[in-house]
Amino acid sequence: MTKAATPNAPDVVRSAYAQLVVTDIARARWFWADMLGFHIQYEDDATLCLRGMDELTHHSLVLRQGDTPALDHLAYRVRTPDDVDKAESYFHSLGRPTRRIKAGDGTPGIGDAVRVIDPLGFPVEFFYEIDHAERLIQRYDLHHGAEIARLDHFNICTPDIPAAYAHYENLGFGCSETIEGDEHELYAAWMYRKQTVHDVAFTGGAGPRLHHIGVATHESHNVLRTADIFGALHKERHIERGPGRHGVSNAFYVYLRDPDGHRVEIYTSDYYTGDPDHQTYRWNVHDDRRRDFWGNAVIESWYKEATPVLDLDDKPQPVTDAVLDESAVAVGADGLG
Ligand SMILES: O=S(=O)(O)c1ccc(O)c(O)c1
Ligand SMILES: [Fe+2]
């Protein structure tokens, strides 16, 4: 069910881009552009701005060269320029650090924006202005690798899932699916503003850390071909989990790790959530189809490893351990005791 945002909250349209720190921009270019098929919209010797082939704005992923792998920030697009002001005053009223970024002073292609450290400890940007880009949707001659179409979602590791749920509910996000214990304790949740399963999801664990970015491709055969290409090139160590069918979201997926360990999910075929009375679908943590509908075990690294995040001054944020640990719930297929 989509709850109305609190009155002074910004009107978020969608998850729009992630900015990651990578330690070798050429190596990252191979993984994200050559292998995954992102289009290079802008590049210099320390920066890559990338977009999926369906995307009509400047980028949905920014990679910048740095000393250690990290999340620089997540970014949500808001509906109007006034919503950037609303975001600044909303997070200021929560007592959170904010920093206004003037057009030209921040990420290439992005106009006036505000960056905050949200209540969960994540660096998040809210913007309206972004450069438009040429239409590549039917440039089949350029589609290659995983044929990434667009950014779909962020998945974040956070120790307190109910707190994450409340924060995003206050921003007007609906909840499509959850994983809950027998007493309805919340292990994970998928929340949305665009009319699909999620713009953001929460994985219980030490945080704030970035668990993964989810990028959409059109067909399950693109997911399978991605795994085949990495195998063919003897780069199979980049494949972490899957291919498989999710229980939650019903999407077909494979998870990869980039050369710096950043996790990316190649994701296709979830479902519509746009009706105002859309009902949340609740999975029990003991149902071993929840994370892989065929009951395949979830590799431990998927629960335990994630990307550190930076504060507004590029310093790594300290992490807090989780309240609940799903991987410790002895469930059939996972087998993780
Ligand atoms: O593994 S889950 O089925 O819980 C799942 C569902 C959707 C996702 O995007 C994801 O990363 C993980
Ligand atoms: Fe995902």
Q: Which ipTM score applies to this complex?
A: 0.99
pTM of the model: 0.96
- Topology, domain 150-333: 2,3-Dihydroxybiphenyl 1,2-Dioxygenase; domain 1 (3.10.180)
pLDDT at res. 36: 98
In this structure, are residues 54 and 68 in contact, taking their beta carbons and an 8 Å threshold? Answer: no
Q: Which of 17, 116, 28 is nearest to 58 (CA)?
A: 17
Q: Which residue has the tokens 């945002």?
A: 5
pLDDT at res. 112: 98
- CA 298 to ligand 1: nearest atom: 1
pLDDT at res. 326: 81
CA of residue 101 to ligand 1 center, whole Å: 33
pLDDT at res. 1: 52
Ligand 1 site, CB within 6 A: 153, 155, 201, 214, 246-249, 251, 265, 267, 290-291
pLDDT at res. 324: 79
Q: How far is CA 280 from CA 54, 80, 133, 145, 200, in A?
A: 28, 28, 35, 34, 15
pLDDT at res. 331: 45
DSSP β-ladder status, 281-284 and 174-180: parallel
Where is 89: in which H helix or E strand?
helix 82-93
Give CATH for domain 12-127: 3.10.180.10
Q: Which residue has the tokens 């991987």?
A: 327
pLDDT at res. 6: 84
The parts of the chain modelled with pLDDT lower than 70 are: 1-3, 330-337
Q: Return the bridge partners of 62, or none.
A: 19, 49
Give rounded-to-5 percent helix, strand, coil for the chain.
15, 35, 45
Q: Return the bridge partners of 337, or none.
A: none
What does the H/E/C string look like for 170-186? HCCCEEEEEEECCCCCE
pLDDT at res. 322: 82
Domain ranges of the chain: 12-127, 150-333
Q: Is there a shared CATH topology between the 12-127 domain and the 150-333 domain?
A: yes
Q: Which of 269, 235, 253, 268 is nearest to 302 (CA)?
A: 253
pLDDT at res. 7: 87
- Pocket probe for ligand 1: among 190, 256, 269, the residue whose CB has the most ligand atoms within 8 Å is 190
CA of residue 144 to ligand 1 center, whole Å: 25
pLDDT at res. 159: 95
- Pocket probe for ligand 1: among 248, 303, 327, 329, the residue whose CB has the most ligand atoms within 8 Å is 248
CA of residue 86 to ligand 1 center, whole Å: 31
